[in-house]
A and B are shown apart, each in its own frame.
Chain A
């Protein structure tokens, strides 16, 4: 039944298109010169129907449930809701809805069964009403669009305006989503800082978020010093960049300047496959292959290697970042004008000298931008570290030790039985906020560098 309004809308739009197209064509064959091509008259009708009616359907579907619920609750027999809190009333509503959906638990009271039947009726009325309204509005809009068809009617401009509006809307969706995410994070973070002082969070060196959930539970008081957690992220990201930056850059330089065409044709797609491997698969790789191998190797050297080392997690993350950096660097190197290559070669520079002294310096802002974006990916990367890094926050920069990461802590804090009013859960939001700010700063910085670099050659 929810499908019906959409089908009607689609048909109405097509009918409107056809009617306006025919009308415009008739004017043209009548000897008048149309201002806009007949197709635009058709599109005008199509868009004029689709945009408002689709909005109407979506709004209707969004508010329908709430309104029906209110009517339903007010139709309940007097007295059953007296003295109940809002949570209990919500529960009753949910129970009625599940009875209406055919899922009956136990033996509900008669008034609940009656209410469920009423609910079904209300829903039917609502959907028929929607179909009626959609049909009527569509007809009205088709008629209006048809009445506008005239030789001098500027259908093309109208279509362009509507399309422009749609594009603006799509662009704004992303912006508002971002604002929404920031707002959600901010509110929870503020709540957290009301429970835990911000100085303890920012400068404390002890991270033990285990706190009692129930009164009788025995657990530590909980300590929320985020320094060791961030230190862990920094250690892992550093290891990752130590692997990704040199390998990625040398790959890019080789592919861009020295590789024979055939090899380049093979290596580039392989790198793209590497970029397409899901991070959870990298996680497997880290935990099943790299970590044991590292441990074995370390033991053969007499080193004390933890089973969840920062080196394993960071190393695999580095492999994940190689295609990211190499493709960025490759783009930056390719963007250096050919005339500069020729200029250096014509002076008798070898290809190596040309790369080192001319291409690389010219491309370095773009490369730095790419590396910074890789940094923000490294500190935001979750799956690999959740699988391969440790859980205990330690104040260490030893890559052979087990460290935890910000994203790991966020995941573990939000898993399991959680209440949204204790510091353990809220700490996840504070960590998320910090991570968000860090990556935002790095991204802004990176984009500025990339943009500055673009200005040189355009």
Chain B
């Protein structure tokens, strides 16, 4: 862990992009998330850490209403994106997901060409009016995901033919192609080798310039390396939330301290 970097990191105040208040999530009769309050800042990488089954992924999936696809899942409480309640019946989850993109644990490129993978989002949302514009979006997204150089000569080849790390960067390119405001990442490096992980982490830091990034991670080192804010979840509760440097060097809660020193989790 690079503690020097943590303390030197320049902390500026950003505006609050997403705000969660009193969020409870139930799977059937089991409560997975208990009364969570979180503010996600713009242009910031926020890390959710915690032991397996603590609800961090479940909470992440509330932020773009991906939990709607699970029949038994019920979300209560208030989650706002730019002061708009995303669980309001007026809100169309399809449009919400265009604004809040998501990258999954396992790379999941569609069985289509690399180009079509990236162009899919812009196409269904009508972001490009002609082929040239679409080409431009695809190139820009692939560049942002730091995979343009590897992919530019094989855009018509299937995305499933790439290596694991390349596939994950392709999925990131696919997610940023719709020009989202928030990017959710659910353990994006857990299926990757260390080199690919380093590339993706570097990428996350760059993505912060344009998006608000929320990342769920198992690895505390990763949270320390890439995030400015860290939230520690335990047994469905948000135990502690604050500056990453403060969480890792001076945790307020004993459970946080036990976790980051390796005693629980």
Contacts and interface: CB of A to CB of B under 8 A. Distances in A.
Contact of B102 (A346, A353, A361): A346
Interface string B92-129: 00111110011010101111100000001100110000
Contact of A342 (B66, B109, B160): B66
Given A342-B69, A353-B124, A357-B120, A347 B101 contact: yes
Interface string A175-186: 000000000000
A342 B120 contact: no
B124 to A, nearest CB: 5
A261 B71 contact: yes
Nearest to A354: B124
A427 to B, nearest CB: 48
A458 to B, nearest CB: 13
B178 interface: yes
B108 A456 contact: no
B46 interface: no
A339 B191 CA distance: 14
Q: How large is the interface on A (under 10, 10 to 19, 20 to 34, 35 or more residues)?
A: 20 to 34
Given A345-B66, A346-B64, A357 B124 contact: yes
A348 B175 CA distance: 10
| Residue among A340, A344, A348 having the largest count of chain B Cβ atoms under 10 Å | A348
A337 interface: yes
B174 interface: yes
Given A337-B108, A340-B108, A361-B112, A348 B66 contact: no
A342 B106 CA distance: 11
B171 interface: yes
Nearest to A261: B71
Contact of B110 (A261, A344, A348): A344
A36 B111 CA distance: 51
Interface string A332-354: 00000101111111111110010
Contacts of B120: 344, 347, 349, 357
A345 B69 contact: yes
A368 interface: no
Contact of B111 (A261, A342, A361): A361
Given A261-B71, A353-B124, A357-B124, A345 B97 contact: yes
A348 B106 contact: no
Given A261-B71, A357-B120, A357-B124, A346 B104 contact: yes
Contact of B94 (A342, A349, A361): A349
A406 interface: no
Interface of A: 261, 337, 339-350, 353, 357-358, 361-362, 456
